Structure 1
Amino acid sequence: MPYNTILADVQNKVRPLLVELYADSDKITDELCNRFVHLIDDHLEQRSEELKTFDKNNQADWFKSSETIGYVLYADLFSPEAPQGQKLDALKKQLNYFSKLGINLIHILPILKSSGDAGFAVDDYEKVDERFGTNEALQELISEFHQQGIHIALDFVLNHVSDKHAWAVAATSNDSHYHKFFIWSESGEPWEQVPDIFPDFAPGHWDYVKKLDQWIWSTFYKRRPLGYAKDQFDFAQWDLNYKNPDVLFGMLNYLLSLANWGVDVFRLDAVPFLWKERGTSCTSRPQVHTILKIFRLGLQSVAPRAVFLAEANQHFEQLVEYFGQGDEVQIAYHFSLMPYLWQAVTTGQVKNIQNVLTTRLPAIDKTHWWWVFSECHDDLSLEMLDAETAKKMADYFLDNGNLPFRQRQNEDFPRAISGTTFSLLQGDLEKIRLLWQLKLSLGWTPLFYMGEELGVENDLNYQKDPIRCKDSRFVKRVALTEERKNRRLQVESRESTWYNTLKELIAWRKQHPCLVKAPDFFDTGNPSVLGFAKQDEQQKMVIFANCSDLSQTVKVPSLGTMSLKPFEFLWKNVEI
């Protein structure tokens, strides 16, 4: 298709989407359409020949490969000994660590210039934070990892910017143009129905800006939340006003610039919060999906093999909406499954895993994709569970020395827990092995968090920091020193046992491509034993997972009677 024809096609596709958001007049729509096409044209010209070749040599659904195993890390914590400014160079030298473990997709947590929230308060979207290195160092890392068959995911924080971002600085300097990039209030009066994300240490959704004597919308970190007489933090995250098209195009420009660095997966941070409307919860509004469609169209026009990952901790019915009709995100974290994995290995109850993976699954399995995780850089969220189940799980983890996070005013238990996998399960490798086996066998792409493979424990040193001490999630953001990583080479060390256990399980997963498929559950007749089948063109297997600390017996008509030891994971090949 001729180049001009491609741009004309893009313009025709974006027009109705822009009308949905900014339907003031045909003239304004024409201007916005032209602006969109010119932005695409500029970034297409800037895309390197190396990346264009990479685009041609990779399949559009590369992320659905049965070989893909994901790993999440902080660049500074993974290479803590590396000098400031050389963290990315040090990470590049660790390629062998990932390859031997079987990792081929690495999510590097925020590395753009930032003033807080472990990188999620972005000061500059066009510059790598000097603590980690340079723009060139990141692009070299991506290029080298690509050559070794490893894809790279980065965060794209599109709901908010830090209060030190150029737009925010201009807005607080009485620049009328940039003042409209944000949402303001003279009173700071809370809007009803809006959720309180950080009630423990940054409550509400307004942040007081003393310089202007106004309140600005801030879903997450605030310097001075409503009700506080002085600043609580030395940074803030101010939500963007997507009702202003300049915000949309500004963020799209940032996105496409990062895509031209070679990023393969963009984790869309806090995506449900993009559109605010009084009288609603201001989450998952219809306009959010329109914005995603515009971003998806722009990204696919410039970097056709790059994909979106939704960070949308929503109920399942809302979560699946982020896939759209194949025109929004390609991947989503399976937030609905995650707490039930923990419930299974801590209580022996498995029915909820089957329930959540059966609900509406046939309709979405062929066109959409999940990242299956048990631990990440954030808390272990219990928000989706009923109060009784959430309290039981919270009590279990708190009794084991883990920390509370996010507590509702009307409840006597937290709705989230902070802790490493080791600490959450008291270092019980039998349970943890089963947890890993479930992640690797239930389907789609399994995800592992840094240190999970080394048996890293909670680290309370964050409590000595006057800012971080308020956020218990830092208990699991633990430095992986060279000494700690090298202990994986010492026979009989904890690190060696855990690393090699996971390495063997990942190798097993890759030997059986059918494991990437969605599970076909069957009744085992035992509430503690999960049973499911996996099948592709070459293989069919049945799997039994005993999530109880007692031996269990199951009877399956076609397979007979089987006995399983505590926390045993058993699989068998069967004829197709």
Structure 2
Amino acid sequence: MTTDFLSLEELKHKVNVLIGALYPHCDSQELTEQCLAAIGPRISKDVVAPERLWSEKDCLLITYGNSIREAGHKPLDTLQHFLHNHLQGVFSAVHVLPFFPFSSDDGFAVIDYTQVDPELGDWDDINALAQDFKLMADLVINHVSSQSLWFRNYQYGKDPGRGYFVEADPNYDLSNVVRPRTSPLLRKTDTADGTKHVWCTFSHDQVDVDFRNEKVLLEYLSIIGRYLDEGAQWIRLDAVAFLWKQLGTSCIHLHETHEVIKLVRLLTEYKNAHALLISETNVPNRENLTYFGNSNEAHIIYNFSLPPLVIHALLAGDCTYLKTWMMTMPPSPVGCTYLNFTASHDGVGLRPAEGLLDEGELQQMLQTLESFGGRISSRTDAEGNSKPYEANISLYDAFKGTYKGSDQWQVERLISSQTIMLAVEGIPAFYIHTLFATHNDYDKVKTTGHNRSINRCNWSLSDLNERLGKENGPGQRVFNELQRLIKIRAKQPAFHPNATQFTLHIRPEIFAFWRQSMQRNQSIFCIYNLSDQPQQLNLADINLISTENWVDLISGNAIEDLCDTITLAPYQNLWLTNYCSQ
């Protein structure tokens, strides 16, 4: 339910209750009014039914502002023109990764949340993108750059910034703190009040803010309000799981973190009824699911377990682990859905595979990805042991072969992975380099010294046009076919993000599931040969209703005999439906 079903007084009451629990030292009514003032005047008061927040037409593109460059042009302007000319009508939404001035981590160490990085463009360029697409903006909510005004002011004891950061005694036992990096947690910092040790979950250039200070909350509500005013509709809560710090705990997924998200959702929906919150929590699956709350936290959560399981299935030619996971996944609650992706600006997260892939399977997958040019990044667990944290590799090169080695099916495996993602319950999200079948960028890794740079290539527009224009080349084949599949998907009500989904049981080489539209007038049987060998499929095994006509949406071929046995070519995909709306 959105806040548009609430009166202003009911909204204030809900906010006041949350404020009172989070900040008992404050006047909760006064802080409630300050929160409403910080988020700013309302943009939209429309009533939005939960099932209408998204549809089968929604598909997200993930990109950096400078993923495509052209000499003499601002990168955001180049991106906008490329997307407008090639992908408008294909994607409904675009996620431009942090486009603010930054000091490290390709944008995730933000210096100033209120400015667009002049190396990329300006707010007019962001507004132009928001005219063509629903815009997702990053709220890097856990930390700021050590070069930000807030942190500099903190060091000098000035506002704003004084009291904004988490300090800890280096002699305190912090071994229970969960974090994704191997660098020391605390950064020694000289301040006007002497030497302090400040909390840095990710790096010493990314200093954690202290949400126990209500002024920090107000700062971020003001930033959200600015994003919404500038045309953003989707707000991505980066690294939100680590937001609240409490000594003596793991400092991840704390109760207060969930309460802050509830508060942010209430106020964001008040500001714009069409606005959506997306939680970015790269953690084991069960922990990730908690960010739906009781349909009152994130509208959308990243389906972090999907990438490692899809990659494993296609490398192994075996859907056992992928199928087992899918059978355990709950339907998303009312007013919520999943964001499905197989590649992103980060590596392939391995924590979301914990408890889903056994150690032997995980190690075999990582060894194979390394043989295809990938790098493995690690983290330190509570016992001080180094554990694999993510695999860094372009998705195209991840599918260079199978456990048996390289082969000729690289393009087919890549397309199959995306065809799976397009059909699974939720909203599909494509990383721009998957569309282009971009290779590992070893030169960028060498330049930056960071493994993640391997999948953060910056294309020159001329080189990209050459790749996409090469007749029957991998770039052209992938780019054209994925666009075609996205357009087919957008016409199928059974691919609504909340449409019913059931897993089918055939055999390890064939992954299959069934989607049914909420109006129950369309069924789609999604069937994938995950192996490099032809596979026989007896259509009687999937129980197609004999009184209806069936067609494969992907090939356009009709099914003449529902008891026939058909041969699936290596990595062939079927979307069999009784309701063709191509």
CA RMSD in angstroms comes to 2.5
Distance 1:336 1:128 in 2: 32
Aligned-partner residue type, residue 337 of structure 1: L
SS in 2 for 1:170: helix
CA deviation profile, 1:424-452 (whole Å, cap 9, x unmatched): 11270121121111011123211111121
2:393 is aligned with 1:419: yes
- Cα gap change, 1:61 to 1:92, in 2 (>3 Å): farther
In the alignment, which residue of structure 1 is the partner of 2:363?
391
Corresponding position: 1:297 with 2:266:
yes
Match status 1:117 vs 2:105: yes
1:535 to 493, 506, 516: 516
| 1:460 to 2:410 alignment | no
Of 384-393 and 343-352, more deviation after overlay is shown by 384-393
Does the aligned pair in 2 maintain the 1:267–1:309 contact within 8 Å?
yes
Mapped contact 2:180–2:380 kept (Cα < 8 A)? no
Cα offset for 1:311?
0.3
Q: Secondary structure at the match of 2:477?
A: helix
The answer to whether structure 1 residue 379 and structure 2 residue 351 are counterparts is: no
Q: Could you tell me how far apart the structure 1 residues matched to 2:30 and 2:491 are?
A: 53
| Structure 1 stretches lacking a partner, 5+ long | 223-235
* Counterpart contact for 2:50–2:335, Cα < 8 Å: no
CA distance in 1, matches of 2:309, 2:257: 28
What SS does the aligned partner of 2:114 have?
A: strand
Residue equivalent to 2:559: none
Residue 154 (structure 2) pairs with residue 167 (structure 1): no
Asked if structure 2 preserves the Cα contact closer than 8 Å seen for 1:101 and 1:499, the reply is no
Q: Is the deviation greater in 504-513 or in 289-298? A: 504-513
Q: Percent same amino acid among aligned pairs?
A: 23
Contact 2:375 2:393 in 1 (8 A): yes
1:219, 1:239 within 8 Å by CA — same for their partners in 2? Answer: yes
Instruction: Specify the alignment match of 2:405 in structure 1.
Output: none
Does 240-249 or 86-95 show the bigger shift? Answer: 86-95
Question: Aligned pair in 2 of structure 1 residues 115, 367: CA closer, same or farther (>3 Å)?
Answer: same
Q: Which amino acid aligns with 1:29?
A: S
The match for 1:131 is 119
Decide whether aligned partners of structure 1 residues 523 and 310 sit closer, same or farther in structure 2, where only a CA change above 3 A counts: same
Equivalent residue, structure 2, for 1:18: 19
| Residues 234-249 of structure 1: pairs in structure 2 closer than 5 A | 236-249=205-218
> Does the 8 A contact of 2:343 with 2:395 survive in 1?
yes
The question of 1:38 aligning with 2:37 is answered yes
The answer to whether the 8 Å contact 1:256/1:302 transfers is yes
Task: Return the offset for 1:195.
Answer: 2.3
Q: Does residue 377 of structure 2 align to residue 405 of structure 1? A: yes
Amino acid at match of 2:76: L
Distance 1:82 1:404, change over 3 A: farther
Aligned equivalent of 1:180: 163
The two structures have a TM-score, normalised by structure 1, of 0.87
Q: Deviations over 1:335-388 (max 9, x none)?
A: 1222111111111221322332332514x3543211111000001112233432
Shift of 1:529: 1.1
Opposite residue 456 of structure 2, the aligned amino acid is R
Structure 1, 372-381 or 165-174: larger mean CA deviation:
165-174
1 CA distance for matches of 2:360 and 2:532?
22
Higher alpha-carbon deviation: 96-105 or 335-344? 96-105
- Number of matched residues? 534
What is the CA distance between 1:542 and its match in structure 2? Answer: 1.8
After superposition, where does 1:438-449 map in structure 2 within 5 Å? Answer: 438-449=420-431
Residue 58 of structure 1: CA displacement? 7.8
- 1:180-235 Cα shifts (integer Å, max 9, x gaps): 21111343655021124222xxx13211214542210000111xxxxxxxxxxxxx
More displaced stretch, 540-549 vs 179-188: 179-188
Structure-1 separation of matches of 2:444 and 2:453 = 6
The one-letter code matched in structure 1 to 2:234 is V
SS at match of 1:115: coil
1:248-263 counterparts in 2 under 5 A? 248-263=217-232
For residues 338 and 79 of structure 1, do their structure 2 counterparts lie closer, same or farther at Cα, with a shift above 3 Å needed? same
User: What are the within-5 Å matches in structure 2 for residues 554-573 of structure 1?
Assistant: 554-555=537-538, 556=541, 558=543, 560=563, 561-573=565-577
Do the aligned residues in 1 keep the contact of 2:155 with 2:190 (CA within 8 Å)? no
Q: 1:66 aligns with which of 56, 59, 70?
A: 56
Aligned residues of 1:113 and 1:119 also touching (Cα < 8 A): yes
The answer to whether the aligner puts 1:95 opposite 2:83 as a matched pair is yes
SS state of the match for residue 152, structure 1?
Answer: strand
| CA-CA distance at 1:295 after TM superposition | 0.8
Q: Does 1:492 align with 2:453?
A: no
Q: Specify the code of the residue in structure 1 equivalent to 2:68.
A: F
Alpha-carbon offset, residue 95 of structure 1:
3.3
Question: What's 1:76 paired with?
Answer: 66
Q: Which one-letter code corresponds to 1:446 in the other structure? A: P
Kindly state the Cα deviation for residue 389 of structure 1 after the two structures are TM-superposed. 2.4
Deviates more, 1:66-75 or 1:554-563: 554-563
- Matched ranges for 1:342-357 at <5 A: 342-357=311-326
Does the C-alpha gap of structure 1 residues 412 and 22 become closer, same or farther in structure 2, counting only changes over 3 Å? closer
Number of the residue aligned with 1:229: none
Looking at structure 2, the residues matched to 464 and 557 of structure 1 have their Cα atoms a distance apart, in angstroms, of 50
> For the Cα contact (< 8 Å) 2:319–2:511, is it kept in 1?
yes
CA–CA distance in structure 2, aligned partners of residues 208 and 310 of structure 1:
30
Structure 2: 5+ residue stretches without partners: 401-408, 544-561
Deviation at 1:566, TM superposition (A): 2.0
User: 1:271 is matched by which residue type in structure 2?
Assistant: V
Q: Does 1:332 align with 2:297?
A: no
Aligned counterpart, 1:476: 455
TM-score normalised to structure 2 length: 0.86
Match of 1:523 in 2: 505
Contact preservation (8 Å) 2:70, 2:78: no
Contact persistence 2:53–2:274 (CA under 8 A): no
Question: Which one has the bigger helix percentage?
Answer: 1
Answer yes or no: is the 8 Å Cα contact 1:190–1:204 preserved in 2: no
Q: Matched residue of 1:278: which SS?
A: coil
Q: Quick one: distance in 2 between partners of 1:101 and 1:350?
A: 33
Matched to 1:282, the amino acid is: C
